[in-house]
Amino acid sequence: MDDLVSTDGEAKGTPFATVLMVVAAITPTMLLVSLDRIIMSTAIPKITDDLKSIQDIGWYGSSYQLAACSTQLLFSRLYQYFDNKLLFLLCLGLFEAGSILCATASASITVILGRVVSGLGSAGIMSGAIAIMIPLVPLEKRVFYQGIFASIFAISPLIGPLIGGAFASDEHLTWRWCFWLNLPVGGVCGLLLLFQRLPPLQRTNQGPFTLRCLDPLGTILFVPCIICLLLALEWGGISHPWSSPQLVALLVLFSILLVAWYLSQHFGKEHATVPPLILLQRSVLAGVIYTICFGGIMLSFHYYIAIWLQAVRGLSPVQSGIRTLPFVVAFVCVSILTGAGVKYIGHYAQFPIACSCCMAVAMGVITTLRVDTDEGRLTGFLIFLGAGMGLGAQIPSIAAQTVLTTPHDSTGSSLMIFGQNLGSAIFLSVSQNIFIQELISNMSDVIPGAGDQILAGVGTTNLREVVPSGLLAEALRGYNTAVMRTMRVPLGIACVSILPALAFEWKNVKQASKDKKELEKHEPRSVDRYEKQ
């Protein structure tokens, strides 16, 4: 298998000024990608008002996540064979093109298409940041720069809802500036990186490049496999009954493609995108399943807590973003403390167990929210959930880098990113399915035919304008019930996440680091021990 390698000697000739300029270019770009994943959470209600598209809420997030997770691992291989700077700039261009499509959209389908294009670009940007830094910075210093990137993903949930809410609330800027913002920042970063000379990314296998190196068969099988799954989840019970021929065909095709993809990875050997011997390693597999659960909880919660705050509580997008700050602050603080705790203690397996337990309890109490729930109780619930999720945010990546040898660190990290994107896409579609069905049922009980009317031409923030005042209280209770029953999806995922949390191996990070250095001295260009079995 072709792998990424890094030695101190490769980075010694890189001037510090070059490193500084590259980091200055990559960091804001990573921030844009991170913001783009969450900035829409508070703006979506306004988008649904403008485009009359409440039925497409799930696709605004799922389409982005689908494109990102289906190509994440492919981009990590592309960077091994092509110029890392040019490929990174190309991915940045894709991301910007998707932003333009969203910003100029006059129909919901254009927003969804733009999200797909941006998702493709974001996958390349995230893989590219790793590919650029590996040959640029020595191993012992790379941890510092990875800490900078990690802090960006911790900060973005804090400012994303505020920026999105501010744009959505402003009559002159509107929600479209959530996407226009990416153009000037991305353009400056691209120009800054364009004039830097970057060292190439080395491979352990220096054989000639062929198309087979990119695992085209695996990619061709995997992308439609995920599309079939998400289409089935998006349509099931809403536009098509679950027993319809269309859904049965999609689910059968998904199963066939999934088996075919696994077989292609099994027999692909060194050309496989994900060698099964790595994927099936206990902690790696547990980490992938755990990140699927974690991503599903995170995105579903963010989307529907914003809808609840704006539709049920009547808050503006900015107020909604401010109201979720207790969750974000708790998440960031506990996540940082958890990283410090792992570094000090050495062991990490106890943290995902605690995280899953806290998420399950927190999501359970959140499903008890009512129209008149007091602010103090709501704040406590948000802090509890944020702190609980912070306990496990970094653990899957730490586990993968602990059990895999250095050449496969990037593969392990990419698998965890893939898992989180996949979980976000799948469970957001599931949540949307449940939300639409519950909303139609509940609103039809209040006003006969109102459920279909809401889906056809009403958003979430103007509910008070279209429902007669005499029926408003009952309508709000119906809307609240629809959102809370949708919140049972992340609640169920949180309960299930305890199983992969228990499966992590009880490894010591300090000892693993020493063992990896000793192994690299004797086999500096070796593939890892799993391929020797």
- Provide the percentage of residues in the chain whose pLDDT is more than 70: 83
- In degrees and rounded to multiples of 5, residue 107 shows phi and psi of -140, 155
Question: What pLDDT is stored for residue 201 in this prediction?
Answer: 59
**Which of 39-53, 351-365, 407-421 is most confident?**
351-365
CB 84 within 8 A of CB 4: no
> Over 90: is that where the pLDDT of 289 sits?
yes
Q: How far apart are CA 481 and CA 440, in angstroms?
A: 11
Q: How far apart are CA 63 and CA 4, in angstroms?
A: 30
Question: What pLDDT is stored for residue 17 in this prediction?
Answer: 83
> Over 80: is that where the pLDDT of 510 sits?
no
Confidence of residue 260 (pLDDT cuts 50, 70, 90): very high
CB 200 within 8 A of CB 83: yes
Q: Where are the alpha helices (DSSP H) in 15-56?
A: 16-38, 40-51
pLDDT tens readout for residues 34-83: 888 777 766 777 787 788 767 777 677 678 877 887 788 888 788 877 88
**Which of 60-64, 390-394, 404-408 is most confident?**
390-394
The pTM (predicted TM-score) of the whole model is: 0.81
> Over 80: is that where the pLDDT of 491 sits?
yes
Topology given in CATH for the domain delimited by 281-519: Growth Hormone; Chain: A; (1.20.1250)
CB 166 within 8 A of CB 318: yes
Topology given in CATH for the domain delimited by 1-195: Growth Hormone; Chain: A; (1.20.1250)
For residue 138, count other CB atoms closer than 10 A to its CB. 15
C-alpha separations of 482 from 62, 146, 210 in Å: 20, 40, 52
> Over 60: is that where the pLDDT of 197 sits?
yes
Q: Where are the alpha helices (DSSP H) in 346-471?
A: 350-366, 375-390, 395-403, 409-446, 450-457, 463-466
C-alpha separations of 218 from 40, 213, 223, 267, 417 in Å: 32, 11, 9, 11, 18
Place of tokens 């109102």: 450
> Over 60: is that where the pLDDT of 447 sits?
yes
What is the C-alpha radius of gyration for the chain, rounded to an integer number of angstroms? Answer: 23
Confidence of residue 525 (pLDDT cuts 50, 70, 90): very low
**Which of 160-169, 260-269, 481-490 is most confident?**
481-490
CB 47 within 8 A of CB 311: no
> Over 90: is that where the pLDDT of 380 sits?
yes
Q: What is the average per-residue pLDDT within 188-199?
A: 87
Q: How far apart are CA 266 and CA 277, in angstroms?
A: 9
Question: What pLDDT is stored for residue 232 in this prediction?
Answer: 83
Of residues 486, 45, 35, the one with CA closest to residue 307: 45
CB 5 within 8 A of CB 407: yes
Mean of all residue pLDDT scores within the chain: 81
Q: How far apart are CA 229 and CA 293, in angstroms?
A: 16
Question: What pLDDT is stored for residue 154 in this prediction?
Answer: 58
Q: What does DSSP assign to residue 368?
A: T
Stated length of the chain? 533
Which residue has better confidence, 234 or 217?
217
Amino acid at 352: P
